Amino acid sequence: MSRENIKVCVHCSATRKGSRLTFEQCKKMHIEKNGWKDIGYNFYIEIDGSIHIGRPMGAQLAHAKGHNTGFIAICYEGGLNASGLPVDTRTDQQKQALISLRNFIERVYDVTEWFGHRDLSPDVNHDGVITPDEWLKACPCFDVKAEFV
């Protein structure tokens, strides 16, 4: 993977508050349910803030259709409230882990842009802006661009 012109996309696991989807569970699900070789992301952050390494840097990703090259993909465990509605469920530990990952990634790579998964939705009205009514998903359930720019 070139260290230049990298984009980063943040995802949530769409796991309900009070439930768990550990790195190993997510990886197993991606392999068994989707038939992939590995988890779709480069990094996975569990509730306690632990960061797990998924697909190697430079490997073909499986995180967002049409955006699986030239990206680094991060997923955090959570993203839904107890009723299953999209909400920012990140713990303080997960927020700190994201900051640490951001600092590491931006030291090593020439990052051109940060996205939330929802920001990669099609621009249906072709105005150059992806708005909430165009999102295919609410993932990652917080505004990555506002927080990381």
6 vs 9, 52, 69, 87, 94, CA distance in Å?
Answer: 10, 20, 9, 27, 22
Report pLDDT for 115: 95
Query: Structure tokens of 37?
Result: 């070789």
| pLDDT tens-digit readout, 94-112 | 999 999 999 999 999 999 9
| pLDDT tens-digit readout, 17-67 | 999 999 999 999 999 999 899 999 999 999 999 999 999 998 888 888 888
User: Which residue in 65, 98, 104, 73 sits closest to 8, CA to CA?
Assistant: 73
Please check whether residue 1 lies inside any domain of the structure: no
| pLDDT tens-digit readout, 101-147 | 999 999 999 999 999 999 999 999 999 989 999 999 999 999 999 99
**Which residue range forms the structural domain that includes residue 35?**
6-148
Please check whether residue 46 lies inside any domain of the structure: yes
Residue 80's CATH number? 3.40.80.10
Report pLDDT for 5: 86
**Omega into 140 within 30° of 0, i.e. cis?**
yes
Q: How far apart are CA 31 and CA 113, in angstroms?
A: 29
pLDDT at 1 over 80: no
> How many domains, in total, are found in the chain?
1
Please check whether residue 65 lies inside any domain of the structure: yes
Task: Confirm if 39 and 11 have CB atoms less than 8 A apart.
Answer: no
Please check whether residue 109 lies inside any domain of the structure: yes
Please check whether residue 41 lies inside any domain of the structure: yes
Please check whether residue 114 lies inside any domain of the structure: yes
Task: Confirm if 46 and 23 have CB atoms less than 8 A apart.
Answer: yes
